[in-house]
Structure 1
Amino acid sequence: MIDGDDLKAMRVRAGISQEAMAKKLECDRKTIINYELGVSDIRSKQLFMWFMYCKIDMGAFISEIKKVRKQANGTEDISLHDDESQ
């Protein structure tokens, strides 16, 4: 799970200030601070924009989503390995 420390690390590595990220996400700096402190959860749309602005490769993430969708639709074998099935 992505937490506030992860968000801050991505932003800092990308060289983006809290103020600049706030402008990019069309919110105020306090919102960015709250995300990074874990006071509030980032909305999914803003999270994906955060990834984009920080140049985070989303390829593996999107591939995993497609795999889950195929499994949910029954078009791919589902292999579950949990203690209850043994």
Structure 2
Amino acid sequence: MYAFFILCTDDNGKYYNSQFKSATIEAGFDGLAQLTQEGWRLRHIRCLDQDDCYGNWIDLPAEAFDERPMVPILQNLQSEWTYLLSHSA
């Protein structure tokens, strides 16, 4: 389970803190993309892997999340590195 903590602004520039949880990091990334589709401007994002016993936070680059869903992009990237690793001996 992943927890996302977000600082964002609305159309008027008013700041809001928000958070949500996601079963996978990919689904969480899509949730962030959905927020941008709804008009929110992401300012700061922190992610916590709640299964990580060390409680390490990951700061994510807000500019990386636009209105495009991330799951297809990540699946494509995974296919590429899987192909490269399988042919690199």
TM-score (norm 2): 0.28
Bigger radius of gyration? 1
Structure with bigger strand share is: 2
TM-score (norm 1): 0.29
| Larger RCO (alpha carbons 8 Å, 6+ apart) | 2
